[in-house]
Structure 1
Amino acid sequence: MQQQSQVERPGEDIFRKPPHAFMPSAYWFWHSVPDEATCRAQLADFKAQGFGTVLIQARLAMPVSDYLSPAFIAAYQCAIAIAAELDLKAGIYDDYNWISGHAGGRTVAEHDHLRERHLFWSAGSDRESAISGIRPPFVDGMGPDILAWQYEEGRVEWCEWKIEAAILSAKAVPHNLDQIVDVTRQTHIVSSDAAGCRFAFEGVVPDGQALTVFVSARSATSRLINYLLPEAARRFIEVGLDPLIQPLRAFVPDTLGFVFYDQPAAGFYRWDQISGHVGNSLLFSKELPSAVEAETGLSFAKALAALVHGIGADTARVRAQFFSAYSSRLNEAFFGTLRDWCERTGIALTGHEILPHVSSWSLNGGFTSIDPRVAPAVDFFGIDAFRDETAVDANNFIPQLAPKLGDSVARANGRSRCAVETYASALRTPVRAAGQWELTLETLRAHVIRLHCLGMRQHVWHGVYQTDGRDDDPTPFTNPRFDFAPGINFEPWWPYHGLFAEESARLSAFMEPAKPLAPVAIFYPLHTAWAEGPRHSHASHVGAWCEGLLELGCDFMFVSESDLAAGKVSNGRIQAAGLAFDAVVLPSVTVLQSNAVLQNLDRFRRDGGRVWSSGDRPRTCCEATDGSSTVLPTTHSVDAPTLQELAQLVSDLPNRGLKIIMTMPRKPWTWIGAEPDGGWRVVLFNDGDDPGGCDIVLGTAMRCEMWSPADGSIAALADCDKLSVPLEARELRCLRFLPGAAGGKSAASAISSPPSADGISTVLDGVWNFAVEEGAASVSLSVDAGWEEQGFASFSGTGIYFREIAIETDGEWLLEVPEAHTAVSVRIDGRLCGRRGWRPYRFALGRLAKGIHRLEIAVSNTAANRYYRNTPYQGDMQDRSGLTAPPRLVLIDQES
């Protein structure tokens, strides 16, 4: 093997032994206050299975009165001290259950003015009307236990009703700003109670006009805070964070290094009279009107009119500017206050806001029941500026937008990549919290590899459990078993998790020294999102561009308007957020902050760059800096970004020195990174069921290396300008290419395939002995069907298949297990031959002498068949378990 110096292998040290920043992290769900023995045993277990960081999270099964109690804080101190002993890192998950800011209700206790206050409205022809039927849809969908947690005694009640604005305007649309009459002083509350209010206008509503009244009210029972108030964030810190950090100062920052916030957002209320452009109530504070007036140049009443009615040519501008002021106030009040505290405390700030695109590629394809503009859920670039590390949220085990957008906002703020929290929601039942106890390690591994390719540095699992809950109780949340399952440490395949964790950490470390080769920048349409709302086509167009480019193997990043406007143009490329792009996409963009970005895009186009657009075109600049128009300088425009259209565009992009040519029907996942000295790093992952391969074509002959994320080894390959790479099902490969091949001559090379049969193989079919645990009485079982079909319907655990085999030829033997569910270890004559948590299940048995040998195959399934038993979550299906096809012995090297 060729030896190279450390200088020639940047990142070799972190690849061989990845630091905590690359290792998987997890929420540690506390369902009750644990004792020291529980803390010690579970933390040691988490470390043994490859986790590097834990975040303690009190869940709904824990009484809220226990949260931050003296016993809770003492247990917290104990856990962090044990983590330090074990060289684990820890972060403060900053609240009870989730929705940061309430501190388990302590923030608003005896501070009622900090409870969420909302703005509601009603429009109609009558001089009297009401606000009634207020409901929190986002909470209702989670069930009564969530309602009881977020609202005292589970009651949604309101108080302190106040008219904030009232206007008369023509019913015909669009309205004209000059025709809007402010009648706030002539409109009064006439009655109110905990459910709503009635109000009246002193005058008469003229024919053809509508009276629109905006009324604020404070929740009398909500534990959620008013995120517009910096004092609410300060109180949250005082009662929620300081009590945790103060006793743990000795562990800051070496063990306890960061605080993690989770989905800070108020109630997303709807009500009977809601109408207009905004889908949920707005938070309100007395400072909001002046902030809106300063941003829009209009009175608060007229600015509000744009949210309910059209106001002519200024509608889009006013809506965008209104939400710009609103979002800035939210960001500064909550995230800014948290960031100041973190800087004083000496820890980092991270976490994630609500992501309306979770589990989707469309910008608003996840939480479709909410209008994200009313929460910190649109201005991702602005929010990220307050963080020290970027984190995002992912739901279920499919490719999705979150990690790509997270990596993009991190790069815009001078960092790179992100942490991705993954939670599972149920697929078998409408009760989403029942989760997926049917999750396999193979599914989790594939998901995490894809996340890495999309921009993730560290995976955060949601979560590892303190307890597995109670049998025969389907109650969500309060039975920990169905609190966004699975708690993977209670999965039978859990002992194999360390194999995956080591591989994931090394994959992340391998990618670290390189920048992604992403030729396409997608313009993040912030002002369009504010002006047009979540149902506008920009959301789906973003998703279509993302999915199409990925399908074509063309990487991309999102870029903010300010970064594009300031981007340096040269040689047909535009440099923004630390990367250089050959093309810029505007996905149905209608509203811009200013025309500066259009001017720079025109320079880019004239310099040979590509400007692609789809759907609607820009028509409004909120801050036009001169008299120029909003004409988009495109090189190609489409009505909708179809795969055929995108393929034509991508084929025209310049070749930047490395191409991957597919030689298999299903394209593998790929990631290409450029090193500063001209080298390349390539990740290939075949997440399909069939083997395949691809060719890596280099611009010139280069030195080649294969870095194994499974064991940390690095092997030098032959110098070449083209490398053929075979990919087995589920195979992950990491390859590095360096300038300076010996002689610089062109040559083709190939990575050898796994050993194949040498003409001798034996199918081990028929009946095997089977036991549910080591040493237990055995029964006879077929390997053609899972054990769930053969008398073990509800058994979740490790089943052991064993039999004697006759070896008739001395030599090197291999065992192939074609179908197993879901993790496998193999022993021959008591000797461990290997452990696999995902396909291919292939085990080197070593040299076997002619004669009789005892073969043992241990298979661990999922917990679903046991935990879903006697619950409505079982459905009409059971998880396949154990062996479902006969294993095969293969002679790969016969002794002469």
Structure 2
Amino acid sequence: MKNTLMAYITPNIKALIIGYIFLTCVFASAKESVMEETFKNPPNEYRMLQIIHHYYDKDLAKNYKKLGLGGVVANVSFNDYLESESAWDNFIKCLNDFREQGLLFWIYDEKGYPSGKAGGLTLKDHPEFEALGVLFAKTEGKGTIRHKIPVSEKITSPPLSIVAVPILNDKYDLTKKVDLTDKFKQGESEIVWNAPDGKWCIMSFHISKIYEGTHCVTNYSDTLPYINIIDRDAVARFIHLTHDAYKQRCGDAIRDYVQAFFTDEPSLMTLYLKKEEGLLPPIPWSNSFREDFRKHNGYDIVPDLPHLFVDCGEDTVYKRLQFWKEVSKLIEENFYGQIQDWCHANGTKSSGHALWEEHLSWHVGFEGDLYRDLRRMDIPGIDILSSNPTQHVHARHIPIPKFVSSVTHLAGKELCMSETSSFIQIMTKQPCSFEQRIGTINWQYALGLTCITSYYRLLDEFKFKDGELNIFNEHIGRLGFMLTGGRHIADIAVFYPIHSLWGEYIPTNDIAQSFNLSEKAKRINNEFSEVSCELLANQMDFDYIDDQAILESQTADGKIKVANESFSILILPNAYVIPADVYKKVETFVNSGGSLIALGGLPDTGMTKDETKIINEISQRLKKSNKVIIAKNVPDVIESSKKVLDLDLSLNNPCKELMYAHRQKDGKDIYFISNSLDKSISREITFRCTGKTSIWHPTTGDIKPIEGREENGKTVIRLDLKPFEGVFIVFNDERI
């Protein structure tokens, strides 16, 4: 009976197994066929969105569809902005036209930029919502000191504080300060004070509207005063005037059709961009800031204002940390957070970009903590104003596509956006070829971008030639399809040392481009950029990681795992300051077998004095670990990383202009390789991957097999790339 039963079951089981294998192969083949077909004909969701402010041609949507565009970022006419019913009628017609054509639609939330002014309506009848700062003036001397009180129509109240402080060994001793605030009489232009023995400094602090020398007067849109982005009521009024107005006119289309609202270049306005006579160092402020700070931190910030502008001893770093943490929290919650909350409540997404993202010191002065702010965008963004990819890859500042894609990866988002144009070439009358534009897009996608909104001109001498725009949009669509979704592969996390720069940040009356920083602040700023650039130049992909991501991570088996990312190396670039709870997590990572590379030494300061004791205890323990490397300079970081890593991609000869991205998607390992040079590159490339290989060309849609050889569990492929060319090398799970 047993043998009879087995004889009956076995053939049936065999048949089931064979059937399963057959169906699996059919399904895999069909899935691959769909992927290849989608690559050749990418849907609109991955194509470029054209930014338009002035329209409308009645056939605009049809024409844009013919050109291969994915959609538009649009707004109601700037003429009689938000107040013309005929303009609203035209806008609704435009929206409906694009909807009928199956194209995407975003809404641009401002009359020009920076976002928040509502074309001047936000401040109309509400001058209390204008951007505020505290200006700093000082006079040093001995004996009788005459301190001039700044006079300006923007300074509308008596000095917030006036103090005299003794100076010893270039430090200001606040323990012996003399409060002179009550000695000032309204209308006086100076205060005269007879100092005790020694050198003294009179400091005065003045609440002022912030305008002269700022982005208000240097932007190409208008010179209107700007709102205070840390003032919740000011931002709420902006949202009411713009977002609510669009909702009133567009109705359910906001939820059912509009993909996102685009916010353009908000900032604190407390870094100057234009030199003007009489400018004073500013810090951000609001009418409620003093009370907000007291509520969140338990003390009054006004007596401690000198710490923010000069070195007053060991307490200075902690006062600065607490101040900038408060500012960052208010920007995130009151500006970015309010906009995102409105978008979520109305079934759409928030997007856009901040002002001047290229340097860490600018992150402080303009945004407080840019990483934190971008987390509150559903589609975080940047702007790229040049279409010269060789200049981009040779630049020595933060590679900002990598910065915004890192936020996207670690915050568990899918899309990140770049507002891309050839603005620099237009303004400087430099040529800008089709190939350079392709190369600029390739460079950004190799660093993690997934969406392009564009100011590329469709007319005049910078326009695309016949047929080029269709090729361009299909190219972008193919990049977006292949590099959106799945899992990003990178082994290295680079810590975002914003706290260290907060501790060293000194406001200045100089312009941001002068980098008037302390030597320590310069090192933090510059080496953060240099580490980033050198990792990419050596084909070692990474993500920037902030304190929140570390706290949200799982640290085990030598990995930091957060969202869909997994890192085996953590680089601390001059991270002298780190929150204690974050550093404890770092220690757990090291103890589980992870590698830590500390450029400039291990952290020595926490967010408070009590935390600093914990930080130094952890550093003493970590110094004994063989998984911790102290790097003296950036080349040490690169060499140490190479020794620790099993490289995901390597070249037979160096080439710093070759960028790559690696994603796992639909059972495939997808490598995007980009040449940012204006000449051909030929290299043998070793991939930490095996399987059946093919080469996918995003410019043409062609897919062909490509030969490779397997060596030590890796694949070596010789690749010849034309100037500015990018290609995909795709590994199936089948063996070579």
TM-score (normalizing by structure 2): 0.81
Q: List per-residue Cα deviations over 1:113-172 (Å, max 9, x = no partner).
A: 22223321211253542225x7xxxxxxxxxxxxxxxxxxxxxx5252232223232223
Q: Whose Rg is larger?
A: 1
Query: Paired residue for 1:214?
Result: 205
**What residue in structure 1 maps to residue 13 of structure 2?**
none
Equivalent-residue separation in structure 2 for 1:390 and 1:19 (angstroms): 21
Distance in 1 (alpha carbons) for counterparts of 2:312 and 2:570: 32
The RMSD of aligned alpha carbons is 3.2
Is 1:539 aligned to residue 525 of structure 2?
yes
The answer for the alignment partner of 2:644 in structure 1 is 653
Equivalences for 1:353-752 in 2 at 5 Å? 353-357=354-358, 362-364=359-361, 372-376=363-367, 378-396=368-386, 397=388, 398-399=392-393, 401-426=399-424, 434=427, 436=429, 438-464=431-457, 488=462, 491=463, 493=465, 495-533=467-505, 535=517, 536=521, 537-592=523-578, 594-615=579-600, 617-623=602-608, 624-625=610-611, 627-630=613-616, 632=619, 633=622, 635-642=628-635, 645-655=636-646, 658-662=648-652, 668-675=658-665, 679-697=668-686, 701-712=690-701, 714-715=703-704, 721=710, 722-730=715-723, 731-741=725-735
What per-residue deviation string (whole Å, max 9, x for no partner) do you get for residues 712-744 of structure 1? 455556796335233241343212213343xxx
Q: Which residues in structure 2 correspond to 1:283-322 (within 5 Å)?
A: 283-294=284-295, 297-322=298-323
Q: Residue 388 and residue 728 in structure 1: after superposition, are their counterparts in 2 closer, same or farther (change >3 A)?
A: closer
Q: 1:494 and 1:175, CA in 2 relative to 1: closer, same or farther beyond 3 A?
A: farther
Q: Give 1:426 deviation, angstroms.
A: 3.6
Amino acid at match of 2:475: E
User: CA 1:434/1:691 → structure 2, altered by over 3 Å: closer, same or farther?
Assistant: closer
Give unmatched runs, 5+ long, in structure 2: 1-24, 212-222, 506-514
Deviations 1:207-242 (A, max 9, x none): 533221111134799531122221111211222333
1:865 match: none
**Quick one: structure 1 residues 494 and 532, their matched pair in 2 at CA, closer, same or farther if it must change by over 3 Å?**
farther
Tell me the equivalent position of 2:96: 81
Whole-Å separation in 2 of the counterparts to 1:681 and 1:698: 11
Q: Which runs of 5+ in 1 are unaligned?
A: 135-156, 192-197, 365-370, 428-432, 469-485, 742-746, 748-896
CA distance in 1, matches of 2:733, 2:135: 63
Equivalences for residues 172-211 of structure 1 within 5 A? 172=168, 173-190=170-187, 198=189, 200=191, 204-207=194-197, 208-211=199-202
Equivalent position SS for 1:131: coil
Per-residue CA deviation, residues 401-437 of structure 1 (Å, 9 max, x unaligned), is 111110111223221451011233446xxxxx72556
Matches of 2:644 and 2:706, distance apart in 1? 30
Distance 1:650 1:242, change over 3 A: same
| Partner of residue 224, structure 1 | 226
CA shift for structure 1 position 16: 4.2
Answer yes or no: is the 8 Å Cα contact 1:331–1:383 preserved in 2.
yes
Say which of 160, 165, 171 aligns to 1:164.
160
Larger helix proportion, structure 1 or 2?
2
Amino acid across the alignment from 2:283: L
Q: CA deviation at 1:243?
A: 2.6
The answer for the alignment partner of 1:331 in structure 2 is 332
> Among 18, 25, 37, which residue is 2:42 paired with?
18
Q: Deviations over 1:27-67 (max 9, x none)?
A: 1142xxx4xxx4234433332222212112689xx66x456
CA distance in 1, matches of 2:596, 2:654: 32
SS at match of 1:5: helix
Does the 8 Å contact 1:121/1:131 carry over to 2? no
Q: Measure the CA separation in 1 of the matches of 2:452 and 2:694.
A: 26
Structure 1 position 310, deviation (Å): 1.2
Q: Which amino acid aligns with 2:478?
A: R
Residue in 2 aligned with 1:779?
Answer: none
- How far apart, CA to CA, are the structure 2 residues paired with 1:129 and 1:109? 33
AA aligned opposite 2:332: N
Per the alignment, residue 52 of structure 1 pairs with: 70
- Residue from 50, 53, 58 that aligns with 1:40: 58
Query: What is residue 22 of structure 2 aligned with on the other side?
Result: none
How many positions carry a matched residue from both structures? Answer: 656
Check conservation: 1:520, 1:582, Cα contact below 8 A.
yes
**Match in the other structure for 1:248:** 250
Distance in 1, matches of 2:434 and 2:254, equals: 34
Matches of 2:314 and 2:585 in 1, distance apart?
25
Equivalents in 2 of 1:700, 1:640: separation in Å?
32
Contact 1:226 1:232 in 2 (8 A): yes
AA aligned opposite 2:448: G
Q: Structure 2: how far apart are the matches of 1:578 and 1:188? A: 61
- Under a length normalisation based on structure 1, what TM-score does the superposition of the two structures give? 0.67
Shift of 1:698: 5.5
From the superposition, tell whether residues 259 and 7 of structure 1 become closer, same or farther in structure 2 (CA, over 3 Å).
same
Aligned to 1:129: 148
Cα distance change on mapping 1:621 and 1:25 into 2, 3 Å? same
Question: What one-letter code is carried by the residue in structure 1 that aligns with 2:530?
Answer: A
Q: Please give the alpha-carbon distance, in whole angstroms, between the structure 1 residues aligned to 2:657 and 2:71.
A: 34
Deviation at 1:186, TM superposition (A): 4.0
Following TM superposition, by how much is the alpha carbon of 1:352 offset from its aligned partner in structure 2, in angstroms?
1.0
The offset of 1:294, in angstroms, is 4.5
In the other structure, the counterpart of 1:881 is none
Give 3-state SS (helix, strand or coil) of 1:252's partner: helix
Cα distance, 1:513 vs. partner?
A: 3.8
Q: Is the 8 A contact 2:420 2:455 kept in 1?
A: yes
1:263 Cα shift?
A: 0.9
Deviation at 1:7, TM superposition (A): 4.6
CA 1:39–1:719: 2 relative to 1, 3 Å: same
Counterparts of residues 821-840 of structure 1 (less than 5 Å): none
Indicate yes or no: 2:238 matched with 1:236: yes
Structure holding more strand per residue: 1
The structure-2 alpha-carbon separation of the partners of 1:401 and 1:667, relative to structure 1 and needing over 3 Å to count, comes to: closer
**Are residue 115 (structure 1) and residue 130 (structure 2) matched?**
yes
Cα offset for 1:660?
3.8
> How far apart are 1:564 and its partner, in Å?
2.4
Give the AA of the match of 1:401.
P
Q: Which amino acid aligns with 1:130?
A: I
Change (3 A) 1:703 1:242: same
Looking at structure 1, the residues matched to 653 and 363 of structure 2 have their Cα atoms a distance apart, in angstroms, of 43
What SS does structure 2 have at the residue aligned with 1:55? strand
Kindly indicate whether the alpha-carbon contact (under 8 Å) linking 2:694 and 2:705 is maintained by their aligned counterparts in 1: yes
> Once the 2 structures are TM-superposed, how far is the Cα of residue 77 of structure 1 from its aligned partner?
1.8
Relative distance call for 1:554 and 1:571 in structure 2 (3 A) is same
2:350 is matched with 349
Partner residue in 2 for 1:101: 116
1:224 counterpart SS class: coil
The amino acid that maps onto 2:419 is E
- Aligned equivalents of 2:35 and 2:611: distance in 1? 46
Say if 1:728 and 1:555 are closer, same or farther in 2 by CA, change over 3 A: closer
C-alpha distance in structure 1 between counterparts of 2:571 and 2:383, whole Å: 25
In 2, the alpha carbon distance for the partners of 1:557 and 1:236 equals: 34
Question: CA deviation digits over 1:526-547, x for unaligned, max 9?
Answer: 2112222363111111111111
